[in-house]
Each structure stands twice: as structure tokens, then as C-alpha cells.
Amino acid sequence: MISLYRQPFVVIVCGILLWAITAQINHYLAVWHLNLFTGGLMISYAALRFRSRIIWRIALPLGLWIDAASAAPFGMHAALFLLAGIIIHKLRGRKPRTDAVFSVIVAVLANAALFIAVAAVFAIRGPVQTGIVFTLLLNFMLSSAFVLLVAPWYFALQTRALELAGIDAHMQLGQISQD
């Protein structure tokens, strides 16, 4: 039986790597007041492939990690990641969830939904200033393009990392049938 902790651990480490890369890109983009968001990409691989308990074990720490690095209320990203994970898990049904193109589409959609959700939370919490819509739109388009670009690499990285940890593709898929 696959360890219930090894799988989340590998995916979380990959998520932290993606966060570190995104943070470095954001460091350079700060000159133009632009920002990338990749939360949807972090969660979509796990949400498409794993059983719900493992999704929880991945989404919660990754969400809290993002929360600690942001000015958002602690727990906000964790709750949104969990919600996104549950929705993808519910909807994946008979879809070709391991298909690369389908996975990329889900990642882009999940990222867009999370971006809008985070924006909505902040808009509710405080007054929205004029000129922010243009920045948000630009960040949204940039983030979507970035996710579209790196999602195939990131999914391959997670698959390879899981294989290196002794969890091959068949074993990963075996986890799906248990739900």
C-alpha cells in the first residue's frame, strides 16, 4: 500500500518549488507593479488524480504556505484551495483527467477561478480604488498565460517526482479507483 504521507509530501515539495519560482518572477515583475498567481496550478494535479483525503493533505499545507507569504488573512488561501480541490474532485467524474491537454485546461480554469475569488475577498474587505481593475486584468491575463505555459512541465515534474519516490503512474491511478 502506498504511504498516505509520501504522496502528499512529494506534491507539497513540488508546490513549494513552484511558489519559489513564482516569487522570483514576481520579484522582477514588481518594477512594473505586476504579479503572477499560480495557486490553481498547485492544486489541480492532486485534485485530478488523487482521492479526496490526499487532496486535503496537500491543499491545506500548500494553502497555509501561500497565506504565510501574503498579506491575506491566514487560512484564506487554504480554504480556497480546499474548495477548488473538492470541486475539481467532484466534477472530474468520467473526464479524461490524466490527459495532458485536459489537465492544463483544468489548471488554467482553476487558477482563474481562484484569482477571481481572492480578488472578490479583498474587494469585500476594503474599498476598491480606481485604476485597480486594469492592474487586476493585466495580472489575470499574465497569470493565465504563465499557467498555460508551465503547466505541462509542472505536471511532468510532479509525475517524475512521484516516480522517484516510488509511486509510479499506475499506483497513482490506483488511488483514484478507491474513491
Partner 1 sequence: MKRLVLDKPFVTLAICVAAWMLLPFAVKRAARLAFFEFQAPIDISAEAVRNLQDYWALRSRNPNELIEAGKEVARLNAFYETKIREAKTLEAEVASLEQLLRLPVFNEYRAEAARVVRRDYNAWWQRITIRKGRNYGITVGAPVIFVGGVVGRVSEVGLYTSVVDLISSPGVRLSAIIEGGGERRPVSFQGRSSAAFSRATGSLEFVPLDIYLPPGETTRVVTSGLGGVFPPGLSLGVIAKLEPGGDGLFKSAEVSLDPRLASIMEVTVLVPLMPPQLPKGAAK
Give the binding site for partner 1 (CB under 8 A): 16, 20, 23-24, 26-27, 29-35, 52-53, 56, 64-65, 67-72, 74-75, 79, 82-83, 86, 89-90, 119, 122, 126, 129, 131-132, 134-136, 138-139, 179
- Judged by beta carbon, residue 82 or residue 167, the one nearer partner 1 is 82
Nearest-approach distance from CB 46 to partner 1, in angstroms: 14
Return the number of the residue (11 or 104) whose C-beta is nearest partner 1. 11
Please report, in angstroms and rounded to a whole number, the separation of the first and last CA atoms in the chain: 15
Least distance from partner 1 to the Cβ atom of residue 37, Å? 8
Question: Which residue, 65 or 154, is less far from partner 1 as judged by CB?
Answer: 65
d(CA 134, CA 56): 34
Q: What's the one-letter identity of residue 93?
A: G
Nearer Cβ to partner 1 (83/161):
83
**58 and 12 in contact (C-beta within 8 Å)?**
yes
Residue 39 identity (one-letter amino acid) = G
Residue whose C-alpha is closest to residue 42's, from 69, 68, 60, 24 = 60
Q: How long a stretch of residues is the chain?
A: 179
Ramachandran sector of residue 57 (left: φ over 0; alpha: ψ -120 to 50; beta: rest): alpha
Nearer to partner 1, 28 or 94 (CB): 28
Q: How far is the CB of 57 from partner 1 (least distance, A)?
A: 11
Q: Collapse the DSSP code of 3 into the 3-class scheme (helix H, G, I; strand E, B; otherwise coil) and give the result.
A: coil
Q: How far is the CB of 100 from partner 1 (least distance, A)?
A: 26
Cα gap 19→64, rounded to integer Å = 12
Least Å from the CB of residue 96 to partner 1 = 22
